[in-house]
Amino acid sequence: MAYDIAVVGSINMDVIVDTPNYPEYGDTLFCDSIAMKPGGKGANQAVSVAKLGKKSCLIGAVGNDSAGKQLIQNLNSKNVDTTHILQSEESGTGTFVAMIDSTGENTMVGTKGANDSLTSEDITKTFAQIDAKILLIQMETSRESIIAAMKAAKERNMYVVLDPAPADGIFDEAFKYADLITPNKQETKRITGIEVTDEASALEAAKKLNELGIKDVIVKMGEDGSLIYQNGQATIVDAIKVKAVDTVGAGDCFAGALASSYLDTNDLIESAKFASVAAGIKVSRHGGQEAIPTLKEVESYLIK
């Protein structure tokens, strides 16, 4: 089966807690709302790709439970090909709790569950059945599945985009198989030891990432935009100005939009501009995957 973009990654049920403030250690607070929503970095990125008009498949795992069935149904409704999603009998569906405060910032904790059950054999079997131009991958499944997918993609001449998130899942071996890496500030510090505070520190970090053997680098700086580093040259792409109300999934929206645009343009700077608009629209809305913009919405913003 041929796809534009293959996504290997996590599929989770997210418990979203809206709270005026984060509780202090040991405190009990009343929050504004609690809701269960489809999430997971892989699922979010695959939905972003599909909503932007590209043919995507998601390779991952859920538990053979009610949450897993709901998540597969949700992905099908959003035009993501779920043929290659496994249902584990041994592990439950991954679950994360996200607390969102009044500024829109989020803090998360969770369990990978079935995401961690994905094996290299599962990946090898799936890649023998698919063809795609770009692999989009994060670090929220098992290490062996990540390496197997990146190796298989390189063997098939796919352009490999590594979103090294979450920071807790980062491991060095994956870097040598990536064509492009897109860390945020926290992930950049985890990998390079450099705290990104401005353009100069972002450039220093990008050079260090490049020295690890990664050809193209995008350091995401939140509201300060992104630094694109390729062929020894750095370019800043500004973030769009919006009032952030919900940052959950913003990085996933950026990744999906970046890959979708790069498929058309083969231009990282233009793709980063496109992705910045998509992510900006996402954070200006409440919600998870339903808040990811469509291609029409992004294009409408770009022609203003």
* 252 noted as active-site residue: yes
Residues of the binding site for K(+): 246, 248, 282, 285, 287
Residues of the binding site for ATP: 184, 220-225, 251-252
Half-sphere exposure of 186 (CA within 13 A, CB side): 9
C-alpha closest to that of 4 among 61, 43, 46: 46
| Segments in the chain below pLDDT 50 | none
Task: Specify the pLDDT at position 210.
Answer: 97
Residues of the binding site: 12-14, 40-44, 140, 184, 220-225, 246, 248, 251-252, 282, 285, 287
Residue 55 main-chain phi, psi, to 5 deg: -85, 115
Task: Specify the pLDDT at position 250.
Answer: 92
Entry pTM = 0.93
**Domains, the chain, with CATH or none:** 2-21+33-292 (3.40.1190.20)
Give the pLDDT confidence of 201-257 residue by residue, as tens digits: 999 999 999 999 999 999 999 889 999 999 999 999 999 989 888 888 899 999 999
Task: Specify the pLDDT at position 257.
Answer: 98
Q: Out of 216, 252, 264, 267, which one is annotated catalytic?
A: 252
Residue 224 main-chain phi, psi, to 5 deg: -90, 5
